Amino acid sequence: MMADARMLTTDAAFSRYEEVRARLPAARFPDTTMECGGLVEIADQIDAFVLDSFGVLNVGETAIPGAAACLASLRAMGKRLIVLTNAASYTREAALLKYARLGFDFSADEVVSSRDVAVARIEALLPGGRWGAIAADEDRFEDIAADVGHWDGGDCDGFLMLSSAGLSDDRLAALEASLRADPRPVVVANPDLVAPREVGLSKEPGFYAHGLADRLDLAPVFFGKPYGDAFSDVLSRIAGVPPERIAMVGDTLHTDILGGCAAGLRTVLVRDHGLFAGRDLTPFIAQSGIVPCFACAGI
């Protein structure tokens, strides 16, 4: 069977994250990881849980069994919950509808997406500029207070990468040629290299942006995990909770765990449904030096 060129294996994704490590934030990590049975088991140590979406709450468009029940238990214990997702295609309204369809009861102020983080800042990067969006054909931009439209190969002042869904080989080549001929700002609102889907690990905007950076000596501006602006926006929602009483919960060492540690938070790596599903974490932690505070099969 021919491999899908739009998918990566766990080993390939991890290796690529290590190759681009210099573009990721620096952080300090605990010496060891404590195994736990789930978030309820460590809830006496944590007042607020910051939850990745893909690989923690859902895989693609499918809810992970038991996730909604776990969150209900945490709410009953008085814990604060915030979703911090790098899924940048969804408007806030669409994201809330998706979570509701999957059985989650998040309110608007409990969801922070990398899209939100990026669009709050792009006008300052290119005041009055025209942004060409790299996005799925069905994506809409009414929530963005800037001049943004689907990039069709025409003129623009900068590029906003929201989704790789419509990024064909030909379109990627056209984007690279355009940037080579006329270097312009590239904002990446989804820094992930991959995302867990029902069929495997799909290549995400971060994968393509780092490739462009390698080939063009380009310096993309990334918004979302593991970068600090995303965590600043989350912490503003839960002001008053000490960082050591907040846990970032995710499935990826180089985004969720690295970003959480860089922000001074405790971290929980979920291993059974995301990047490391079916794999022993030990060699990946040892090679990267990215050490989560806790690890569990699922939340």
13-22 as b/e, with b when 16 or more CB fall inside 10 Å?
bbebbeebee
- Please give the single-letter amino acid code of residue 47: D
Q: What digits encode the pLDDT tens for the residues 80-91?
A: 999 999 999 988
Query: Is residue 1 over pLDDT 60?
Result: no
Confidence of residue 5 (pLDDT cuts 50, 70, 90): confident
Cβ neighbours of residue 140 closer than 8 Å, sequence gap 6 or more: 91
Tell me whether strands 7-8 and 200-203 are parallel, antiparallel or unpaired.
Answer: antiparallel
pLDDT tens digits, 224-268: 999 999 999 999 999 999 999 999 999 999 999 999 999 999 999
Taking residues 183-203, report their average pLDDT: 96
- For each of the domains in the chain, give its residue range(s) and CATH number, in order of start: 7-17+30-102+110-116+225-243+250-296 (3.40.50.1000), 128-222 (3.40.50.1000)
Strand partners, 294: 34, 268
Segment 112-136, tens digit of pLDDT: 999 999 999 999 999 999 999 999 9
**Bridge-partner residues for 82, per DSSP?**
50
The single-letter code of the amino acid at 292 is P
pLDDT at position 77 over 80: yes
CB-based burial label for 236 (10 Å; 0-12, 13-18, 19+): exposed
pLDDT tens digits, one per residue of 198-235: 999 999 999 999 999 999 989 999 999 999 999 999 99
Query: Residue 8 in contact with residue 268, Cβ under 8 Å?
Result: no
Mean pLDDT for all residues in the chain: 96
Residue 212 to residue 180: CA distance in whole angstroms: 10
Q: Is the pLDDT of residue 2 over 60?
A: no
Angle subtended at Cα 59 by Cα 55 and Cα 186, rounded to the nearest 5 degrees: 75
Beta strands 34-35 and 62-63 are unpaired
d(CA 43, CA 152): 49
Rounded distance, CA 216 to CA 153, Å? 18
Q: Which amino acid is at 49?
A: F
Q: Are 225 and 52 in contact (CB under 8 A)?
A: yes
Q: Which residues of 62-95 are buried (b: 16+ CB within 10 A; e: fewer)?
A: eebeebbebbeebeeeebbbbbbbbbbbbbeeeb
pLDDT of 173 = 97
